[in-house]
């Protein structure tokens, strides 16, 4: 990591001084989180809360067969969801983006007003809702996600407008589709983007080694021409254990089709990588590198980013990069870590940084978010990285 940092800082400062406007599309989930505690007793001006989940479980078991009111105290209401948190972090990093998500319809819910000014909000439905009951020994999370059931390609295209979608894709150098597992018809939406927009905007040269987007399909690739930038397609499936083997294989095969039109990157955690491997192979594999390389070879994905509990890996066909996490970091927030890691990765992909720099940027953006409790602006992140140059205990290993 120390070797990657100086050049990473220079690249970010160069982008900052150039003032070049990069754009992205992010979709499609959004939630409103309500954080609460369960009231145990109220005595005069003092409120006592249940401290542990086991304590509540014992109390509830004693109430079986009775009608009893359980009092809750709301602590915080906040925006949530992989798409808006990812979009917010990208916005803070200077990336203008269109966030297409369930943020309230026909009016965007006021909770999402805190999202970064660089984000253009296209809301297509009411937000999903999550109630979080906090205890000293963990959290109970109750999700109501029925709003996602209406999200199909035809629905998204009708509400956002096919012409608008085409224009946004044309103008963007990155498309980030996240939280596939929790949106019932995600595969249909991703397929719709590919077949109705991506294919139509791509050039028709059958033997082109690298495909670019253009209004004129016969125009030759030219990175200096607006709209001709190489496309990055970034995918995060999220908690795939709730999906069937057939559904998982179908979406991986769909993702591989995007590789004809740009650079495909897949992000997942260690459990998800191993889960997919075990679904598609008849044995377990202890080596995480071999697990991800197996996925690369099967589905023609250019690279896979894997975030473990403390470290991160970038696996390509012939290279493996590893960043070891900061074991001494004091986390102020736990939700949104994955999305800020992804935002750093997406930013690195858009800047076309070296692989080890992109991975280091993802880890740094995640750790800065976790320790500060907010997504850092680009100048703040550069300052944070400069501080790490002096006392960074990460290490990058290439193979």
**Closest of 265, 247, 243 to residue 256, by C-alpha:** 265
* pTM (2 d.p.): 0.88
- pLDDT 10s digits, 216-275: 433 333 333 333 347 899 999 998 998 999 999 999 999 999 998 999 999 999 999 999
φ and ψ of 92, to 5 deg:
-65, -30
pLDDT band at 19 (very low <50, low <70, confident <90, very high): low
Residue 54 forms part of a structural domain: no
Residue 189 forms part of a structural domain: yes
- Give the pLDDT score at 246: 96
Could you tell me the residue range of the domain that residue 317 belongs to? 4-32+80-129+146-398
- pLDDT 10s digits, 89-111: 999 999 999 999 999 999 999 99
Identify whether 106 is preceded by a cis peptide bond (ω within 30 of 0): yes
Residue 50 forms part of a structural domain: no
Residue 154 forms part of a structural domain: yes
pLDDT at 121 over 50: yes
Alpha helix ranges (H) inside 259-327 = 270-280, 288-299
Average pLDDT over residues 309-326: 88
Residue 286 forms part of a structural domain: yes
Residue 251 forms part of a structural domain: yes
- Give the pLDDT score at 208: 47
Residue 136 forms part of a structural domain: no
- Give the pLDDT score at 2: 64
Residue 137 forms part of a structural domain: no
Question: For position 294, which CATH number holds?
Answer: 3.40.1190.20
Q: Write the DSSP string, 131-182.
A: EEEEETTEEEEEEE-GGGGG--HHHHHHHH-HHHHHHHHHH-SEEEEE-TTT
Identify whether 267 is preceded by a cis peptide bond (ω within 30 of 0): no
pLDDT band at 327 (very low <50, low <70, confident <90, very high): low
- pLDDT 10s digits, 174-211: 999 999 999 999 999 999 999 999 998 876 544 444 44
pLDDT at 397 over 80: no
pLDDT at 283 over 80: yes
CB contact burial 165-191 (16+ within 10 A = b; e otherwise): bbebbbbbbbbbbbbbbbbbbbbbbbb
Lowest mean pLDDT among 9-13, 131-135, 207-211, 315-319: 207-211
- Give the pLDDT score at 178: 98
For the chain, how many structural domains are there in total? 1
- Give the pLDDT score at 20: 72
More confident residue, 3 or 21: 21
């Amino acid at each position: 990591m120390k070797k990657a940092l100086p050049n990473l800082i220079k690249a970010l400062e160069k982008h900052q001084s150039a003032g070049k406007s990069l754009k992205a599309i992010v979709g499609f989930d959004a939630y409103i989180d309500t954080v609460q505690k369960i009231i145990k007793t109220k005595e005069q001006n003092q409120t006592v809360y249940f401290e542990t989940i086991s304590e509540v479980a014992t109390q509830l078991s004693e109430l079986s067969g009775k009608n009893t009111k359980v009092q809750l105290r709301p602590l915080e209401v906040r925006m949530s969801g992989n798409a808006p948190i990812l979009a917010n972090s990208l916005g803070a990093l200077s990336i203008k983006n269109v966030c297409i998500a369930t943020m309230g319809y026909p009016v965007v819910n006021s909770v999402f007003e805190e999202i970064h000014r660089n984000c253009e909000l296209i809301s297509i439905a009411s937000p999903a809702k999550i109630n979080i009951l906090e205890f000293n020994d963990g959290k109970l999370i109750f999700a109501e996600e029925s709003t996602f059931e209406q999200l199909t390609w035809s629905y998204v295209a009708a509400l956002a407008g096919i012409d608008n979608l085409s224009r946004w894709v044309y103008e963007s150098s990155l498309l980030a589709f996240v939280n596939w597992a929790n949106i019932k018809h995600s595969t249909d939406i991703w397929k719709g983007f590919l077949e109705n927009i991506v294919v139509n905007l791509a050039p028709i040269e059958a033997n082109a080694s690298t495909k670019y987007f253009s209004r004129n399909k016969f125009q030759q690739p030219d990175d200096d021409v607006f709209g001709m930038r190489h496309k990055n397609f970034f995918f995060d499936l999220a908690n795939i254990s709730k999906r069937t083997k057939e559904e998982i294989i179908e979406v991986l095969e769909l993702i591989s089709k995007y590789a004809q039109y740009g650079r495909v990157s897949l992000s997942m955690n260690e459990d998800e990588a191993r889960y997919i491997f075990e679904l598609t192979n008849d044995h377990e594999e202890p080596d995480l590198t071999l697990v991800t390389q197996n996925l690369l070879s099967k589905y023609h994905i250019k690279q896979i980013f894997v975030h473990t509990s403390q470290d991160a890996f970038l696996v390509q066909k012939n290279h493996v990069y590893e960043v070891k996490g900061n074991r001494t970091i004091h986390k102020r927030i736990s939700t949104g870590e994955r999305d800020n890691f992804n935002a750093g990765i997406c930013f690195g992909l858009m800047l076309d940084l070296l692989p080890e720099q992109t991975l280091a940027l993802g880890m740094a953006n995640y750790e800065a978010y976790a320790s500060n409790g907010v997504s850092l602006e680009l100048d703040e992140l550069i300052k944070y990285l400069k501080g790490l140059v002096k006392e960074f205990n990460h290490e990058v290993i290439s193979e």
